[in-house]
């Protein structure tokens, strides 16, 4: 059952797309991640051009984040003021990222930039996740082991233009969350990810936010930044494939329900190790494709397209 993707300009099996969306949905349900950092590379592997994969993959992030935000808003675990500051930074970062994305597209280097970004970020994130997961597994086997204390970054509290964030119980400068938001916005535009895998650790370790409000506030920022990013991609370079997005979202909704049930049966440490190994495997495959001589050394494309 082949379907033609008009923006990607390629034909793909519909069940393959449902499988990709469903597979990422399962992972989303199991691990509690948006899946943007996995769905975009998987689209590379089935022949979708990186520019289209990035712009369309963000749709999946929006779809998977909205329901989570609504649930957290009901539980009052979203710091609206902190989320707004992060969102302003995210919108600025998204505009910077879109400008850079379009510049690289005009130079014909966007495919290389996107794939290199994934190799670097997935390699770093996967390595850190695996290291931390193995430590957690060792601690669970040896509960008497001494745990290191987290050190608060005092310099954050010394910066000017302080603001009170009541829900988080913080009184800090607006600059750190603003800069964190800018960084996440740039990642969303260039890599097609929500940026939660960078945002959540930054909110806990850099800003010192309590864990109970981190996830909801992160989803609040990610939802709006991802929606803005996909809209800007559609307006500026017409690289959002609606047909592709529909199949991915449909598969993702079904897969998330399955993943949630599987996740309940596995231990947290085992889940994190599995996710880390998966991230490193995807990183390795992208790196291999970059280094290995392609079967077709030349490709013909219309000037100005991806």
- The mean pLDDT value for 93-113 works out to 87
Boundaries of every domain in the chain: 2-141+152-291
Predicted local distance difference test score (pLDDT) of residue 155: 63
Answer whether 54's CB lies under 8 Å from 234's CB. no
pLDDT digits (tens, 9 = 90+) for 146-202: 554 444 455 666 777 787 877 777 788 888 888 988 988 888 888 877 677 777 777
Paired sense of beta strands 162-165 and 170-173, if any? antiparallel
pLDDT digits (tens, 9 = 90+) for 218-254: 888 888 888 888 888 888 878 888 888 888 888 877 7
Predicted local distance difference test score (pLDDT) of residue 211: 73
Paired sense of beta strands 2-5 and 10-13, if any? antiparallel
For residue 11, the 8-state DSSP code is E
Nearest to 46 by CA among 193, 247, 229: 247
**Which is higher by pLDDT, 150 or 261?**
261
* Whether the predicted model's global pTM rises above the 0.75 cut: no
pLDDT confidence tier of residue 88, bands split at 50, 70 and 90 = very high
Answer whether 24's CB lies under 8 Å from 206's CB. no
- The mean pLDDT value for 128-133 works out to 79
Handedness of CA 89, 91, 95, 101 (dihedral sign): positive
pLDDT confidence tier of residue 269, bands split at 50, 70 and 90 = low
**Which is higher by pLDDT, 91 or 163?**
91
Q: What is the C-alpha radius of gyration for the chain, rounded to an integer number of angstroms? A: 20
Structure tokens that stand for 224 in this block: 């709006």
**Which is higher by pLDDT, 145 or 34?**
34
Answer whether 114's CB lies under 8 Å from 54's CB. yes
Structure tokens that stand for 49 in this block: 């051009």
Nearest to 82 by CA among 191, 174, 148: 174
């Amino acid at each position: 059952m082949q379907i033609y993707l008009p923006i990607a300009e390629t034909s793909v099996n519909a069940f393959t797309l449902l499988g990709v969306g469903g597979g990422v949905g399962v992972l989303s349900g199991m691990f509690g991640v948006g899946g943007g950092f996995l769905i975009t590379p998987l689209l590379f592997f089935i022949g979708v051009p990186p520019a289209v994969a990035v712009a369309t993959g963000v749709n999946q992030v929006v779809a998977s984040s909205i329901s989570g935000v609504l649930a957290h808003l009901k539980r009052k675990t979203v710091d609206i003021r902190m989320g707004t500051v992060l969102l302003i930074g995210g919108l600025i970062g998204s505009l910077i990222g879109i400008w850079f994305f379009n510049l690289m597209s005009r130079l014909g280097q966007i495919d290389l930039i996107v794939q290199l970004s994934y190799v670097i970020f997935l390699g770093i994130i996967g390595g850190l996740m695996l290291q931390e997961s193995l430590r957690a597994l060792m601690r669970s086997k040896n509960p008497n082991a001494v745990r290191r204390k987290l050190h608060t970054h005092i310099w954050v509290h010394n910066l000017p233009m302080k603001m009170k964030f009541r829900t988080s119980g913080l009184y800090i400068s607006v600059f750190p969350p603003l800069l964190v938001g800018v960084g996440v916005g740039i990642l969303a535009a260039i890599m097609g990810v929500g940026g939660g895998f960078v945002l959540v650790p930054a909110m806990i370790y850099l800003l010192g936010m309590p864990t109970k409000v981190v996830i909801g506030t992160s989803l609040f920022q990610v939802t709006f930044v991802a929606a803005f990013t996909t809209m800007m991609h559609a307006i500026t370079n017409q690289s959002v494939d609606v047909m592709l997005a529909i199949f991915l979202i449909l598969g993702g909704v079904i897969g998330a329900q399955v993943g949630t049930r599987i996740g309940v049966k596995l231990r947290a440490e085992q889940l994190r190790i599995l996710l880390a190994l998966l991230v490193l495997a995807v990183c390795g495959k992208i790196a291999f494709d970059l280094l290995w001589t392609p079967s077709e050394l030349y490709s013909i494309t219309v000037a100005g397209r991806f």
